[in-house]
Amino acid sequence: MEAPELKQAELGLTTDNLRIVHEKIAAVLGRQWVSDDPAVLTCYFRDFTARVGKWPNLVALPSTTEEVQAVVRIAHAHRVPVVPYSTGFNHGGTALPQWGGILVDLKRMDKVLAVDEEGMTITLQPYVQNARTYAMANCFSALQGLPLKPALPMTMGSASTLCNYVSRGFSAIAGKHGGHSENIVNMTWVLPDGEILKLGPGSFPNVGDVPVQFGPGPDISGMFISADGMMGICTEITIKLFPEQAHEKLYYLVPSRQGDEALEDCIEFFYRMSQANLMLFIYKMCHTDALVMLPDEMNPADFMHMIPEHAVMLILAGLTPEELEIKEQITLNLAQECGLTPADVEMLAQMIGINMHKDMFKKIYQAGKVMKPKGSFQWIAGYYRLDRVPELMKDYKDIVVRYWKPSDPRISYELAMSGTHMQGPLQFGRATTIEFDFWWDPGNPEDVKRAIVTLRQMGEMMMRHGAIFAKNLVGTYELLPRLGVYYDLVCRVKAMMDPLNIMHPDVMPVGGPGFG
């Protein structure tokens, strides 16, 4: 769409232009749904990550795709940057505006638009949160009357399902159902010039929500995944649902060996379980998962001996108790061969006061918070070959000791409040997600410095080893220009779709603002 001719004063981040833009948005949304009140703006420049943003100039709250389109068209005509915001729980600080502009907060778009039992899909707006996606899907059933469920990440029940899927989320059930972006059926996007684009099979006439992943011809959906809003705003998504089996059991398996050898045993177990295709959910935990949840009056050092650095959380599922029992037999044999022993989860749960029930991951989705970490929780994660994880871990340990561990000699590597996770191994266990967690105190300047330096080092380390970044994260986006032709092409496509660079101009280093 051609931008109408405007005078210079009606372009960019000038006071006069922003006043005009404010009035135009108020005329479309209603005055109560756009604000330049500092008390409102100040809510959007910080999050729990080590990144800091700038205040937006305006916050707009559209309630439909057409209203999003109208806001984007106004922004486009007046050359004001736009930053979309769903629930703000990303780990890269990517929903923080860096140049000001209009922050498009999507919290009024909170509708479950459809559940298709036969097609086994659910269609959501951006502010449908994981807890509600799960609860809604569960009201419907398919196959032999089994309730439906979505594949959800191990994050807060209050995080946006749509945004997790378009930002290439992943979960510990990926081995069973694939990564989240593989389970997208249809998407509706408002492009930087305000055009509306349908992606997926529904972009073809009369197709609707057929549960396949691609549209006709060369499929262009990939350009929109993990783009963090720089290609437009996703206003609707249709995702696949899966049948939930009636019988589930949770196991907590502990290696008998320690340290690096324990990790090797967990990897071997991951590998063999993936090939046997037995588990619903598999997760290599770390000691800090439990240590950060201890009540404040308890000293983590006193509990280290009870909590292994590496352990495996596993959920098996079956249609009948007999099916579950057979799977359990095979799994426990495999665990024994790999040197892992089932621990009493109830006892451990009571000892350290955390919820380790088999439904814990469903309950997480229903609760507001995933955990009670000490300070802020920041991760950097990627996909990597399972057999090469031990090499990566050596460098990670070195970084923790050199950059993350405080100089206090009483703080060991194990007590440095950092740990690794692996989830949902893919392709028969050939690849896995690998996640490095850091718990830090955003109110402590020393912690902030350590967090930023460590995350940069971690990004470099992952690139050196060939671990592909799962998402745009603190410590990763600065490295993307090194991808050469791949990165150049991303920039060229972005420049073609958004020549004014108004749509989230700062999300990746794609050339700075072209507005105003």
Ligand X SMILES: Cc1cc2nc3c(=O)[nH]c(=O)nc-3n(C[C@H](O)[C@H](O)[C@H](O)COP(=O)(O)OP(=O)(O)OC[C@H]3O[C@@H](n4cnc5c(N)ncnc54)[C@H](O)[C@@H]3O)c2cc1C
Interface with ligand X includes 170 (CB under 6 A)?
A: yes
Interface with ligand X includes 133 (CB under 6 A)?
A: no
Interface with ligand X includes 473 (CB under 6 A)?
A: no
Rounded to the nearest whole angstrom, what is the least distance from the CB of residue 118 to ligand X in the complex?
27
Stretch that binds ligand X, among 137-145, 156-164, 191-199, 458-466 (CB under 6 A): 156-164
Handedness of CA 223, 228, 233, 238 (dihedral sign): positive
Other C-beta atoms closer than 10 Å to the C-beta of 251 total 20
Interface with ligand X includes 88 (CB under 6 A)?
A: yes
Interface with ligand X includes 157 (CB under 6 A)?
A: no
Stretch that binds ligand X, among 165-173, 247-255, 330-338, 476-484 (CB under 6 A): 165-173
Beta strand 102-105 with 196-199 is: unpaired
CA distance from start to end of the chain:
18
Cβ nearer to ligand X, comparing 127 with 251: 127
Candidates 99, 281, 377, 438: give the one binding ligand X (CB under 6 A).
Answer: 377
Interface with ligand X includes 95 (CB under 6 A)?
A: yes
DSSP designation for 199: E
* Alpha-carbon gap, residue 214 to 216, rounded angstroms: 7
Largest CA distance in the chain: 75
Interface with ligand X includes 434 (CB under 6 A)?
A: no
**Cα–Cα–Cα angle for 310, 422, 475, nearest 5°?**
110
Candidates 126, 201, 382, 475: give the one binding ligand X (CB under 6 A).
Answer: 126
Rounded to the nearest whole angstrom, what is the least distance from the CB of residue 106 to ligand X in the complex?
6
Rounded to the nearest whole angstrom, what is the least distance from the CB of residue 377 to ligand X in the complex?
5
User: CA separation (Å) from 220 to 165, 191, 193, 214, 223?
Assistant: 16, 13, 17, 9, 6
Candidates 71, 75, 234, 335: give the one binding ligand X (CB under 6 A).
Answer: 234
* Alpha-carbon gap, residue 270 to 282, rounded angstroms: 8
Interface with ligand X includes 497 (CB under 6 A)?
A: no
**With b meaning 16 or more CB within 10 Å and e meaning fewer, what string describes 15-29?**
eebbebbbebbbebb
**In this structure, what token pair is assigned to residue 219?**
């499929």
Cβ nearer to ligand X, comparing 170 with 251: 170
Interface with ligand X includes 200 (CB under 6 A)?
A: no
Interface with ligand X includes 370 (CB under 6 A)?
A: yes
CB 253 within 8 A of CB 209: no
* Alpha-carbon gap, residue 211 to 208, rounded angstroms: 9
Stretch that binds ligand X, among 5-13, 30-38, 168-176, 347-355 (CB under 6 A): 168-176
The size of the interface with ligand X (CB under 6 A), counted in residues, is 34
Rounded to the nearest whole angstrom, what is the least distance from the CB of residue 172 to ligand X in the complex?
8
Binding site for ligand X (CB under 6 A): 83-91, 94-95, 106, 126, 153-155, 159-160, 162-164, 166-167, 169-171, 228-229, 233-234, 370, 377, 504, 507
